[in-house]
Amino acid sequence: MTAQNLPHEPEFEQAYKELASTLENSTLFQKKPEFRKALQVVSVPERVIQFRVVWEDDQGNVQINRGFRVQFNSALGPYKGGLRFHPSVNLSILKFLGFEQIFKNALTGLNMGGGKGGSDFDPKGKSDNEIRRFCVSFMTELCKHIGQDTDVPAGDIGVTGREVGFMFGQYKKIRNQWEGVLTGKGGSWGGSLIRPEATGYGVVYYVEHMIKHASGGKESFAGKRVAISGSGNVAQYAALKVIELGGSVISLSDSQGALLLNSEEGSFTPEEINQIAAIKVERKQISELASTSAFASKFKYIPGARPWTNVTGRIDVALPSATQNEVSGDEAKALIAAGCKFIAEGSNMGSTQDAIDVFEAHREANAGASAIWYAPGKAANAGGVAVSGLEMAQNSARVNWTSEEVDSRLKGIMEDCFKNGLATAQEYVTPAAGSLPSLVAGSNIAGFTKVAEAMKDHGDWW
């Protein structure tokens, strides 16, 4: 069965169709028709592992969750991709994430295959001891299937340095091996500096190139009003970097609602972002802070809302950074109506296909100062896995690079990622007169061709 016939896996089908349609609408298959076969092969995971996770809650009750690891593609290196702990996790979601990860990892230029895993375990409302017991049980099974040269997971939604630590400890006990089997580790035991910051910083570095290219070098983040969704790892560090570069952050959100500036002036401050970060460590909601007098005087909190249609005043840049499908077609239109010129996904598959269609149609229809440009997560948020790749390199060589060294490599990788997508779009897609090249098509084609060629060399298709 091909990926096209998987109605019971809607998220995976969406991710597959998004990639396949950009390949079809380019000249790739005219120039290289044999790559159609590669697309069929690459869309089936090499291996899917599903397992039972039994753990004990604080009341002594037996709790059961499902654990997964999708080892999607190892053409370019060991499987690499995060673990997500969230009640919504299922095979369709992990297959979509693993599929996108293959091409994202290819775009970093590092030797990493693609994978993703996780569990339908909900860390919210759990004590630290419950989380530790869950992580130990989860890794007791997962450790049979991973290793520094086989499969190297990292964090994702619901998995922070704390969970990585618990899982790393259990791997080490069972396998009696200290090895770089997980990334996102603590700084004193093998973690890379800048890994926590990498995805958020990387998105902003990527958008800097978009702004510079589109404005002919005249503009930067300075003075830009930036709407961000989410308030977790990616959103927090994206917000801090935007402010450092002279932009204003005008919204953040979480799964319960959106927090927005209530005036057309100003920005979240780094102190306010740090306060939000502190409550997120305790797995609390933004609504708790929003009701305090300091926040209530400056922000409006809208329960159940996403930021996009609720911002006061102009939006220049939008960075969806919470979860998949968090921008609908109507919200994409609202963003453009609010003046938004640059949309880049910190989240994976942050935009629905309808939203991408809206952004891409506006890109085609506008030139010069009114150009609108969309960057998909698999390019814009590649900074996280890129620094995970750098963490693997440091672990193998038993060295620690400085923050400056890692940050400078991250900047280089994000620049290459942008330029590669741009150049590949120029080679394979003819844009409407005067419009900017499609970064979604260029990034998809660049990532796909690299993986397809390696698979052909390995005899995976012929």
**381/424 with CB nearer ligand NDP:** 381
Kindly give, in sequence order, each residue whose CB lies less than 8 Å from that of residue 443, ignoring residues fewer than 6 positions away: 103, 107, 375, 376, 378, 379, 417, 420, 421, 424
Helix crossing, 10-24 with 91-107: angle to 10°?
40
Binding flag, residue 115, ligand NDP (CB under 6 A):
no
Count of alpha carbons within 13 Å of 60, Cβ hemisphere only?
A: 0
Q: Please tell me the count of residues contacting ligand NDP according to CB under 6 A.
A: 24
Task: Report the C-alpha gap between 375 and 356 in whole angstroms.
Answer: 9
Q: Mapped to the 3 state alphabet, what secondary structure does 40-91 carry? A: HHHCCCCEEEEEEEEEECCCCCEEEEEEEEEEEECCCCCEEEEEEECCCCCH
- 191 token code pair: 């973690």
Closest distance between ligand NDP and the C-beta of residue 280, in Å?
6
> Of 140, 233, 395, 449, which one interacts with ligand NDP (CB under 6 A)?
233
Burial class from Cβ neighbours inside 10 Å (0-12, 13-18, 19+) for residue 159 reads buried
Binding flag, residue 101, ligand NDP (CB under 6 A):
no
Closest distance between ligand NDP and the C-beta of residue 322, in Å?
3
Binding flag, residue 98, ligand NDP (CB under 6 A):
no
Binding flag, residue 307, ligand NDP (CB under 6 A):
no
Has 116 been annotated as catalytic? yes
What is Dmax (Cα atoms) for the chain?
67
Binding flag, residue 347, ligand NDP (CB under 6 A):
yes
Task: Report the C-alpha gap between 194 and 401 in whole angstroms.
Answer: 10
> Of 81, 155, 190, 247, which one interacts with ligand NDP (CB under 6 A)?
155
Taking CB under 6 A as the criterion, which residues in 30-59 touch ligand NDP? none
> Of 255, 267, 312, 328, which one interacts with ligand NDP (CB under 6 A)?
255
Indicate the helix (H) or strand (E) that contains 207: helix 195-214
Binding flag, residue 119, ligand NDP (CB under 6 A):
no
Binding segment for ligand NDP among 17-25, 39-47, 173-181, 316-324 (CB under 6 A)? 316-324
**73/347 with CB nearer ligand NDP:** 347
Nearest to 376 by CA among 421, 344, 328, 334: 344
**38/89 with CB nearer ligand NDP:** 89
Taking CB under 6 A as the criterion, which residues in 327-346 touch ligand NDP? 346
Catalytic pick among 95, 104, 116, 450: 116
**73/351 with CB nearer ligand NDP:** 351
- 301 token code pair: 């909190």
> How far from chain centre, in Å, is Cα 374?
15
> Of 71, 74, 137, 231, which one interacts with ligand NDP (CB under 6 A)?
231
Tell the residue number behind the tokens 């305090």, with chain if given: 292
- Positive or negative torsion for Cα 174, 179, 182, 187: positive
> Of 9, 11, 208, 254, which one interacts with ligand NDP (CB under 6 A)?
254
> Of 78, 81, 158, 307, which one interacts with ligand NDP (CB under 6 A)?
158
Binding segment for ligand NDP among 37-45, 149-157, 175-183, 260-268 (CB under 6 A)? 149-157
Measure the CA angle with vertex 326, ends 325 and 332; round to 5°.
100
Kindly give the pairing relationship between strand 299-303 and strand 317-319. Answer: unpaired
The DSSP letter of residue 351 is B
**276/338 with CB nearer ligand NDP:** 276
Nearest to 288 by CA among 250, 261, 257: 257
Binding segment for ligand NDP among 72-80, 292-300, 321-329, 359-367 (CB under 6 A)? 321-329
Binding flag, residue 384, ligand NDP (CB under 6 A):
yes
The DSSP result for 256-281, as a single string, is TEEEEESSSS----HHHHHHHHHHHH
Binding flag, residue 230, ligand NDP (CB under 6 A):
yes
Start-to-end CA span in the chain (Å): 19
Closest distance between ligand NDP and the C-beta of residue 323, in Å?
4
> Of 120, 156, 197, 272, which one interacts with ligand NDP (CB under 6 A)?
156
Binding flag, residue 232, ligand NDP (CB under 6 A):
yes
What residues act catalytically?
116
Interacting residues with ligand NDP (CB under 6 A): 155-158, 199, 230-235, 254-256, 280, 285, 321-323, 346-348, 381, 384
